[in-house]
């Protein structure tokens, strides 16, 4: 019996440790406690405390709104159309004017930034907006809401549309036009402004990516780094320029490549 007593004591010690590890005295989140006032188990953060990697609201990466955009005066004409009392003011960030949004990128974009923006655009945006921004991605191709095109019609004829509806006379699906021209912002159009997306300030594009709009959800989770969202904005600008560029804008090297004959079949000689 003497030999078993030390072993029993050792096993009892292990059992005690296991119990303490499984049932620690630390409080669980939101657990009630008598340690602090109001039966709180933790103390609230002091006003102004931020975590180490958090960006402040006035950081260059997050200030896509100008002072005018942060405090928007009521647009009398728009208010009259939606609220006869004139008491409803547009919220901060509302696209009542292009001047509500910053014109410049918060950092200089280089080739690697545009390439990064291209990768993120193709992964997160092209499914709806299309590879070149013509709103012909696979998602609207299958009947879901169609986003606006990034490009205006050179003939100023095409209209913006979001859904298809069945024509009762022809029994065919036809576009249901939104009322504004192709390539213009639906957000600005809601406030009575006809604003082409190719000339909208970059801050607005950043806002739509961050907040979402209409059928487009917020993408700040898919693209959590604000710098990456700016890179996507830069690539969208590159797409808009590419679809409206003329041969006169190309370098001599690109002109030569454009003039080279294309091979129709593999192995065909010229």
Per-residue pLDDT tens for 50-64? 777 777 777 878 889
DSSP single-letter state for residue 200: S
Residue 97 domain-assigned (yes or no): yes
Element (DSSP H or E) covering residue 160? strand 159-166
- What is the mean predicted confidence (pLDDT) over 193-201? 95
Q: Tell me how far CA of residue 85 lies from CA of 73, 75, 92, 139, 188, in angstroms.
A: 16, 13, 20, 41, 22
Pairing of strands 173-181, 159-166: antiparallel
> Which DSSP helix (H) or strand (E) runs through 180?
strand 173-181
Kindly report whether the global pTM for this prediction surpasses the value 0.85.
Answer: no
Is residue 148 assigned to a domain? yes
Mean of the pLDDT values across residues 84-95? Answer: 73
Q: How far is Cα 117 from Cα 231, in angstroms, rounded to an integer?
A: 5
Q: Chain-wide mean pLDDT for the chain?
A: 83
- Residue 18 pLDDT: 57
* Residue 95 domain boundaries: 67-244
CA separation for the pair 105, 60 (Å, rounded)? 9
Tell me the two tokens of residue 244: 């409206």
Span 112-162, pLDDT tens digits: 999 999 999 999 999 999 999 999 999 998 888 999 999 999 888 999 999
CB atoms within 10 A of CB 81: 10
Q: Which pLDDT does position 103 carry in this prediction?
A: 96
pLDDT of residue 269: 44
Q: How many independent structural domains does the chain possess? A: 1
Whether 235 is covered by a domain: the verdict is: yes
Q: 154 by DSSP, 3-state: which?
A: coil
Name the residue with tokens 């109001």: 38
């Amino acid at each position: 019996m003497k030999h078993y007593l030390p072993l029993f004591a050792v096993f009892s010690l292990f059992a005690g440790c296991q119990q303490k590890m499984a049932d620690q005295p630390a409080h669980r989140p939101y657990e009630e406690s008598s340690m602090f006032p109001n039966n709180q188990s933790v103390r609230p953060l002091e006003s102004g405390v931020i975590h180490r990697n958090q960006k402040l609201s006035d950081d260059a990466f997050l200030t896509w709104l100008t002072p005018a955009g942060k405090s928007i005066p009521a647009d009398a004409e728009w208010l009259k159309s939606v609220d006869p009392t004139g008491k409803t003011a547009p919220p901060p960030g509302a696209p009542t004017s292009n001047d509500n949004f910053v014109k410049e990128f918060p950092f200089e974009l280089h080739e690697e930034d545009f390439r990064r923006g291209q990768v993120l655009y193709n992964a997160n945006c092209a499914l709806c907006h299309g590879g070149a921004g013509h709103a012909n991605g696979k998602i609207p191709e299958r009947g879901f809401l169609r986003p606006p095109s990034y490009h205006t019609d050179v003939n100023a004829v095409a209209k913006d549309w979001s859904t298809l509806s069945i024509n009762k006379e022809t029994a065919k699906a036809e576009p249901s036009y939104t009322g504004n021209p192709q390539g213009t912002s639906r957000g600005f159009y809601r406030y009575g402004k006809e604003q082409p997306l190719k000339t909208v300030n970059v801050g607005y594009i950043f806002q739509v990516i961050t907040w979402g709009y209409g059928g487009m959800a917020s993408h700040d989770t898919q693209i959590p780094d604000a710098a990456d969202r700016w890179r996507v904005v830069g690539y969208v600008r590159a797409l808009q320029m590419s679809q409206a560029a003329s041969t006169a804008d190309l370098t001599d090297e690109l002109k030569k490549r454009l003039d080279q004959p294309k091979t129709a079949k593999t192995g065909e000689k010229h």
